[in-house]
Amino acid sequence: MVNLRPASQQLCRFLKSFGATNSSFFDRRNISRAAVSTMDGDKFSLPSNYSAEPSVWVEYIQLALEHKPLNLGQGFPDYAPPSYVTEALSKVTTGDNVLLNQYTRGFGHPPLVNALGKLYSKLLNRQINPQTEVLVTAGAYEALFSTIVGHTKPGDEIIIIEPFFDCYEAMVRAAHGVPRFIPLKPKKTSGTIMSSDWVLDPDELKGLFNAKTKAIILNTPHNPIGKVFNLEELKLIAELCSKWNVMCIADEVYEWLVYEPFKHIRIASLPGMWERTITIGSAGKTFSVTGWKTGWAYGPAHLMKNLQAVHQNCVYTCCTPVQEAVARGFELEMERFDSPECYFHSISKELVSKRDYMAKFLSDVGMVPTIPEGGYFMIADWTALENKVRLNEETDKLKDYRFTKWMSKNVKLQGIPPSAFYSDPHKPLGESYVRYCFFKKDENLQKAAEILQKWKSSS
Ligand code: IK2
């Protein structure tokens, strides 16, 4: 038997090697009482457009550190990324061109914006200007931030499709915007459920658009459902955006993670949509190097200039060697784009068997998974197992938080509670589910299957 080292233990060791302890990084008890007594009161309280609540990521990384479960929570692979990108990074930092270790152009390192411009010009069948229509950011996170903050005036309404990557709402509120939510709902709850079974009610969507609507945030392929929006769904969104003069913020970080026969359609490629769409991508997701935190946004210059204004006064310029290595990665992939070796095509082939393996082991223990058509997450309804979980041992209000915490501590398998991806009034819609990431070593997925089987058959 192979010596299995759960991903969470690797993460713990990794974080501890930098001095992280098992106590909360955000432990307010550590703040000196003397400091509090002279600086308390409203003057230094957090501005009301920010929330002091730790995000689900902060909370669940801490949970993993403390209880050392097999961690299928956060979205990253637990094995090595393609060697050509990591080798490129080490060559860049030690090579002859020492200036590659210094600041580069603020709106994006020239080789990277040129590579992105070339790639998306081909994919969108239009000439994209790398100087004015592409911006490199500190992860897709910063691309989202620069887009939302750069385009939201107080009172502007932003439509967010639920469940949603949790920072969307926080960023809209930070910009004094008003989030308007619409949930994807499953058409069925038993049998084989595909992510395409999760749909928007077209009338509900139409009813959200009005004169105050500034933007809609569209995430396809979707986290956490794995839905790949189809042409008909995208056409409706496009039609409403044109009718109400609304921009579309297209979060497409999983653009290369799509399982056959499904196809990712870039909404910016639909008639009339280039002019009103900012599309966001991530090197972390594209090359499986999430720790590199490099992303981008592209779109028409008249929309991009607002993002540049936010970026130049916040981040200004991103890590030069990482940008150079990512650019080299793109150059290689563009050369072999039409071959099956191209990572953009081979990655989904590699992941589909992991997806199917996870769907089977979750079903075998009585959970009801939604089979994703894209991305690397799977949600599953766990409520048939409720009688095996001592939910009353956990204090959280929401059941999926209680389920995932209890499982992490007692069964040693960690997932993410999907209610974190809903607005407050709609959180109950996520309570019956858990989200697992299947971009993990086969032996760790096998270990997860064994953990669940053993737990299921225990009395
Ligand atoms: N947009 C979406 C939809 C994402 O999923 C992510 C990364 N999320 O990964 C964490 C998880 O869900 O477990 C981002 C944006 C941010 O991407 P980046 O890492 O490039 O900032």
Centre of ligand 1 from the C-alpha of residue 458, in Å: 36
Q: Looking up tokens 């595909």, which residue turns up?
A: 194
| pLDDT tens digits, 101-123 | 999 999 999 999 999 999 999 99
Centre of ligand 1 from the C-alpha of residue 201, in Å: 26
Ligand 1 atom, smallest distance to 375 CA: 5
pLDDT score, position 189: 83
**What global pTM score does this model have?**
0.93
Reading the block at residue 382, the tokens are 């766990």
- How many CB atoms are closer than 10 A to CB 348? 18
pLDDT score, position 24: 44
Is residue 370 within 8 A of residue 198, CB to CB? The reply is yes
Reading the block at residue 179, the tokens are 């989030």
Task: Confirm or reject: Cβ of 223 under 6 Å from ligand 1.
Answer: yes
- Nearest 5°: CA angle at 337, between 327 and 196? 100
Centre of ligand 1 from the C-alpha of residue 326, in Å: 17
Centre of ligand 1 from the C-alpha of residue 141, in Å: 7
Centre of ligand 1 from the C-alpha of residue 459, in Å: 38
Distance (Å, rounded) from C-alpha 358 to C-alpha 377?
10
Task: Confirm or reject: Cβ of 141 under 6 Å from ligand 1.
Answer: yes
Site to probe by mutation for ligand 1, drawn from 135, 144, 171, 285 as the one with most ligand atoms within 8 Å of Cβ, is 285
Task: Confirm or reject: Cβ of 75 under 6 Å from ligand 1.
Answer: yes
Distance (Å, rounded) from C-alpha 121 to C-alpha 286?
17
Centre of ligand 1 from the C-alpha of residue 255, in Å: 12
Q: Closest Cα to atom 5, ligand 1: which residue?
A: 223
Task: Confirm or reject: Cβ of 219 under 6 Å from ligand 1.
Answer: yes
Is residue 417 within 8 A of residue 408, CB to CB? The reply is no
CA dist list (Å): 339 to 178, 332, 333: 45, 12, 9
Question: Amino acid letter at 336?
Answer: R
Bridge partners (DSSP) listed for residue 219: 251
pLDDT score, position 53: 86
pLDDT score, position 3: 41
Is residue 144 within 8 A of residue 280, CB to CB? The reply is yes
Q: Set out the domains of the chain in order of their start, with CATH numbers.
A: 56-80+344-458 (3.90.1150.10), 83-335 (3.40.640.10)
Question: Which residues in the chain come in under a pLDDT of 50?
Answer: 1-7, 12, 19, 22-31
Centre of ligand 1 from the C-alpha of residue 284, in Å: 8
Centre of ligand 1 from the C-alpha of residue 139, in Å: 8
Residue in 143, 330, 107, 377 with CA at minimum distance from that of residue 251: 143
Site to probe by mutation for ligand 1, drawn from 141, 294, 377, 439 as the one with most ligand atoms within 8 Å of Cβ, is 141
Task: Confirm or reject: Cβ of 253 under 6 Å from ligand 1.
Answer: yes
Task: Confirm or reject: Cβ of 282 under 6 Å from ligand 1.
Answer: yes
Task: Confirm or reject: Cβ of 183 under 6 Å from ligand 1.
Answer: no
pLDDT score, position 352: 98
Centre of ligand 1 from the C-alpha of residue 253, in Å: 7
Task: Confirm or reject: Cβ of 414 under 6 Å from ligand 1.
Answer: no
